[in-house]
Amino acid sequence: MAPDRSNISFTITHMNANHQDSLAAYLQVYCHVSAREAKSARLEDISLSDLVISANGTRYTVPIDPAMGSFSESRSRLVAMHQECLARLGRSDITIKEYRRPEGIEIFLFFVFATALVAFSRRSNFLPGSLFYETVGLEAVPPLAHLFYKTQPFVLTVMGGSHVVEASLLTVKRLRRHGVPVLSLVWCAWVVSNLIEGYTVWMRFDRMVKEEGAKREHRK
């Protein structure tokens, strides 16, 4: 029996409009295409035994194994393939597509850490005559200025080093797992924010994941 082209057209339109991340995952897992190349994935055709997906001007055939008995199976089979790909890529089924700015107390902490990083970036900031020294009024508390001067190398190393480690772990344990493309604007925003404010970024990111999960459950 000839396939119902209207059902095929609906599936193609639906996948391209709502599940481009699944198409990219199919290419990465089944065709060994890099994440960067797979970003532009588009479903061109579907048969009982394979998908035809294009990316960056190249067409790939993704096998459906075992082949479907009818197109009524397409939804469940595509979902199963999606779940398999996520497992093999070490990805969550929740994708984060935007950056969220600090909120509430996080705004204050962001300002504190940003100021501290600027202040401790140079030891001379704690000497009389420097712009920072004069601006914050350190001349009124010479012992504190002296303490900051003496500890500047240690404080900068600990603060900067811990934030670099946290940002590195963020890319692996959060951004990669939740589908944030490396070096994308969203990726850069999260990483730079982590370098400045530290662990509060993880808390904010996890809130977004929880919210997205709740939205998904509500839609179901």
| pLDDT tens by residue, 60-94 | 999 998 999 888 888 999 999 999 999 999 899 88
pLDDT at res. 220: 60
Calculate the average pLDDT of the chain. 91
Cα–Cα distance measured from residue 87 to residue 78, given in angstroms and rounded to the nearest whole number: 14
pLDDT at 9: 86
4 band by pLDDT with thresholds 50, 70 and 90: low
Q: What pLDDT is attached to residue 111?
A: 93
Q: Is the pLDDT of residue 6 over 70?
A: no
Whole-number percent of the chain with pLDDT over 90? 72
Tell whether the model's pLDDT for residue 48 goes beyond 60.
yes
**For residue 17, pLDDT beyond 50:** yes
Give pTM, 2 decimals.
Answer: 0.75
Question: Which residues have CB under 8 Å from 75's CB, separation 6+?
Answer: 11
Helices (H), the chain: 5-18, 20-30, 35-38, 74-89, 105-120, 131-136, 142-170, 185-197, 200-219
Beta bridge partners of 42: 54
Q: Which residues of 39-48 are buried (b: 16+ CB within 10 A; e: fewer)?
A: bebebeebee
Q: Which domains, ranges and CATH numbers included, belong to the chain?
A: 5-89 (3.20.180.10), 105-219 (no CATH)
Query: Residue 113: pLDDT band by 50, 70, 90 thresholds?
Result: very high
Whether the per-residue pLDDT at 100 is higher than 90: the answer is yes
**pLDDT, tens digit (0-9, with 9 covering 90-100), for 144-199:** 999 999 999 999 999 999 999 999 999 999 999 998 988 999 999 999 999 999 99
The pLDDT of residue 1: 43
Place of tokens 């469940």: 76
Question: Looking at residue 78, what is its pLDDT?
Answer: 94
